[in-house]
Copies of this chain bind each other. A is one copy, B any other.
Amino acid sequence: MSEIKEECGVFGIFDDAEAVKKTYFGLHSLQHRGQESAGIASSDGEYIKCYTGMGQVGRVFRPSKGFLEKLENPTAIGHLRYSTTGSSNPLNAQPFLSEYSQGQIAVAHNGNLINANLLRDEYEAYGHIFKSSNDTEVVVHLLAKPTHVSKPDPLAHVLNHLHGAFSILFLFPDRIEAARDPFGFRPLCLGKTKAGKYCVASETCAFDAIEAEYIRDVEPGEIVTIDKTGLSSRFFVEPGTVTPGHCIFEHVYFAKQSSRIFGDSVHEFRKQSGRVLAQEHPVDADIVTPVPDSGTSAAVGYASESGIPFDMGFVRSHYVGRTFLAPSQELRDLAVKMKLAVVKEAVAGKRVVVVDDSVVRGTTTKGKINSLREAGAKEIHMRVACPPLVSPCYFGVDFPTKEELIANNRTLEEIRDFLKVDSLGYISLDGLLSCASLPGDHYCTACWSGDYKMPVNTAFNKLSLERHQMQLFDNID
């Protein structure tokens, strides 16, 4: 399920002899959260250095360029940005380094500010100029505002101006500040290395990558400061004044199986969702196969609950294939198959349960089902580990439009017919929420329910900030 894009991952570590290289490893483990650009900013306690580039972290920081060495400093933050097919803009790569009256600052942000446009218009009216089409730049303008600078806690003051999702790291020359919006839409976790150095990351898998231990989450509405005195905390909104709205789609699809987020294991959540799916939509079949990799954990759960043998009906390619302009329908069909091949012998003549994490537009799923049918599957029973998607996300996920979502205006039977499967079962929202340990209302489920945690202006979208952005750039190859 590659049609929905996460927006960004962050990592930071304070006062570690290998801070920059550990940030590299941390980012690499979070690479699934964004492949468009990668960057690292580091501080020697007095000055900040920064390097950002287009592409995956392994390419941006390839050894021949030597940037990991050039950045060497005891404190660092890093950022990954998601990949779009359209125009990519190096100005939007993060960490976003700038200078204002209080000195240098680098910011790494995961989320989406729904009032970024309003704030930008306001600051332009104050006489500010903007270089990027990035909502993160707005945050720095707020921090730089003289009336904000003079507040007792300028950062807490500024964060109260922001509406939307933000799990955000600020690197000042002498400290890292990590903050999370009051709903806690996106995950943000604290860790500690064996040597007792604090680190912070979007997901706990980044701690595993550097052999650090997970301590706890940064709480919704909390600012955690990591500096020479250790770790300290304060809240920019009083805790408990708002019910959290963790993005449950992180559990369904975005987060890595090996991570813990929002207090639960991602893998266990997904396996349990497979079990619930088996209870809600049992079927008589010969094998259960995931659509790898995102459906694998749920398929293991389905197989275990149903007693139907698990098998690998698909094999995923580990290699990148570039798309060229395919002049014929035949070639376009072939191009789709590049990422996923069917294992004929596993499915031929069998009644197959296919477990996937979600169905978005439906076209990709239809292609996979068709491949199974051509390989000789006798019956195909589609099981989806999340409810039908009907509403876009304004809190950090790059969804198709409402019109493109297959479940938006079709009955279950119409979808089944479109996908050409013998049966189709989505997990229920209650069933899905039952897999998590927090109460159901602590999660944002708007993409299934259309019920958002805060008012959103649906006319707003991420492109509005890019309306006049016309700096041209070289493509990276």
Interface residues of A (CB under 8 A from B): 18, 21-22, 25, 28-29, 31-32, 35, 47-51, 53, 56-59, 61-65, 67-68, 70-71, 97-101, 103-104, 124-131, 137, 140-141, 144-146, 148-149, 205, 208-211, 256-258, 260, 265, 267-268, 271, 293, 296-297, 300, 303-304, 309-312, 315-326, 328, 330-331, 333-335, 337-338, 341-346, 468-475, 477
| Interchain CA distance A55-B170 in the complex, whole Å | 34
| Interchain CA distance A292-B29 in the complex, whole Å | 16
Chain B hits for A48, CB < 8 A: 470
- Judging by beta carbons under 8 Å apart, are A61 and B322 in contact? yes
Separation in Å of the A8 CB from the closest CB of chain B?
A: 15
Chain B residue with minimal CB distance to A132? B131
Chain B hits for A144, CB < 8 A: 124, 127-129
Q: A50-B470, A51-B473, A297-B312 are in contact. List 11 more A-B contacts (CB 8 A).
A: A18-B330, A31-B317, A49-B472, A99-B130, A99-B468, A125-B146, A129-B144, A131-B131, A258-B341, A265-B343, A268-B346
- Judging by beta carbons under 8 Å apart, are A267 and B341 in contact? no
- Judging by beta carbons under 8 Å apart, are A472 and B29 in contact? no
Choice from B104, B210, B309, B331 contacting A304 with Cβ under 8 Å: B309
- Judging by beta carbons under 8 Å apart, are A319 and B100 in contact? no
Chain B residue with minimal CB distance to A51? B472
- Judging by beta carbons under 8 Å apart, are A208 and B129 in contact? no
The main secondary structure of chain A at its interface with chain B is mixed
- Judging by beta carbons under 8 Å apart, are B62 and A131 in contact? no
- Judging by beta carbons under 8 Å apart, are B267 and A343 in contact? yes
Choice from B71, B98, B100, B323 contacting A472 with Cβ under 8 Å: B71
Separation in Å of the A35 CB from the closest CB of chain B?
A: 8
- Judging by beta carbons under 8 Å apart, are B125 and A129 in contact? no
The 10 lowest CB-CB distance pairs between A and B, nearest first, are A265-B345, A63-B324, A51-B472, A127-B145, A101-B124, A31-B319, A49-B470, A127-B144, A258-B341, A58-B321
Separation in Å of the A441 CB from the closest CB of chain B?
A: 25
Chain B hits for A101, CB < 8 A: 124-125, 127
Separation in Å of the A89 CB from the closest CB of chain B?
A: 13
Chain B hits for A149, CB < 8 A: 127
- Judging by beta carbons under 8 Å apart, are B343 and A468 in contact? no
5 contacts between A and B (CB under 8 A): A49-B471, A51-B473, A57-B319, A257-B312, A258-B342
| Interchain CA distance A326-B472 in the complex, whole Å | 22
- Judging by beta carbons under 8 Å apart, are B56 and A320 in contact? yes
A28-B319, A312-B300, A320-B58 are contacts. A471–B50 as well, Cβ < 8 Å? yes
| Interchain CA distance A144-B127 in the complex, whole Å | 4
Chain B residue with minimal CB distance to A208? B341
| Interchain CA distance A143-B186 in the complex, whole Å | 39
- Judging by beta carbons under 8 Å apart, are B126 and A127 in contact? yes
| Interchain CA distance A347-B280 in the complex, whole Å | 27
Separation in Å of the A200 CB from the closest CB of chain B?
A: 18
Chain B residue with minimal CB distance to A97? B471
- Judging by beta carbons under 8 Å apart, are A100 and B126 in contact? no
- Judging by beta carbons under 8 Å apart, are A331 and B258 in contact? no
- Judging by beta carbons under 8 Å apart, are A344 and B258 in contact? yes
Chain B residue with minimal CB distance to A205? B341
Separation in Å of the A178 CB from the closest CB of chain B?
A: 21
- Judging by beta carbons under 8 Å apart, are A311 and B315 in contact? no
| Interchain CA distance A58-B268 in the complex, whole Å | 35
